[in-house]
Amino acid sequence: MTGSEQTRVDMHVKILSDEVVARAKRRGIDVLVYAPHFTRLPEIKQTAAHYSDEELLVVPAREIFTGDWNNRRHLLAIGLSEPVADFITFEAAMAECERQDAAVAVPHPSFMNVSLTWAEIRAHAARLDCIETYNAKLLPHQRRRGQRIAADLDLPGFGSSYAHLPSTVGEAWTLFETDIDSEAALVEALKTAAPQRVQHRPGVGHRVRGLAEFSHLIYENSWKKVDRLLLSGDEPTHPRNLVYEGRFDDVSVY
């Protein structure tokens, strides 16, 4: 992949296509962490493998939605070997990540009702590998809050575009001072707190793309989406979907 002593990793994107891959390469990204909403791990892995090549590694991941819709606590799990459902208890999700020896990152900390709070991160700090300190989708004061939490708890920081829109891919990244050429290598770097720096693109264009991403939250939190995802029980990552064979029935919140 990179063949160098440094690796630029956009630690969290929601979309993947030829356009996304081309943009990531133009912006000097070496690794994309692909974690689409409500998509099962086998499909994510297959898509990630399809778009990986010698210039760009795509690492499959899951942003697990723990708790119910009004009190979501998101976990970004990298290195899972088996599927994990959404809308299960936080403790059940953490137990699955630990059983599978996955790296656990905290995306958009203390943001609205979709993130671990400062107190929750403090309570579980020993079980967490890193915390997001720069998210291109968030506003400056929200990013600063993540930076304060990471500093307070002495947790490594990471940066991502959190791209839901193709134009945002590669707007922010984590620069690792090591060569990362596989999913396992990224998991190892995260779990051992390998030296890293959070960076982002400068200028007005960067701010404009961030605001476009922020406005996308209106759809992300719409009732139409909630109704489609939760009430049918047939969605791919619903804990009572038949594909899980009852594994998460006891820890499901729906």
Tell me the CATH number at 21: 3.20.20.140
Say what the pLDDT of residue 235 is. Answer: 83
Residue 36 CA, distance from chain mean position: 8
Within-domain flag for 2: no
Within-domain flag for 57: yes
Within-domain flag for 189: yes
Say what the pLDDT of residue 2 is. Answer: 53
**What are the φ and ψ backbone dihedral angles of 109, each rounded to 5 degrees?**
-60, 140
Q: Which domain holds residue 160?
A: 7-251
Kindly state the tokens that stand for 11.
């630690």
Within-domain flag for 217: yes
Within-domain flag for 193: yes
66: which strand partners? Answer: 73, 88
What total number of domains does the chain contain?
Answer: 1
- Band of pLDDT at residue 113, cut at 50, 70 and 90: confident
Kindly state the tokens that stand for 167.
């134009």
Kindly state the tokens that stand for 65.
């939605």
Say what the pLDDT of residue 114 is. Answer: 81
- Band of pLDDT at residue 39, cut at 50, 70 and 90: very high
pLDDT of 217 > 80? The answer is: no
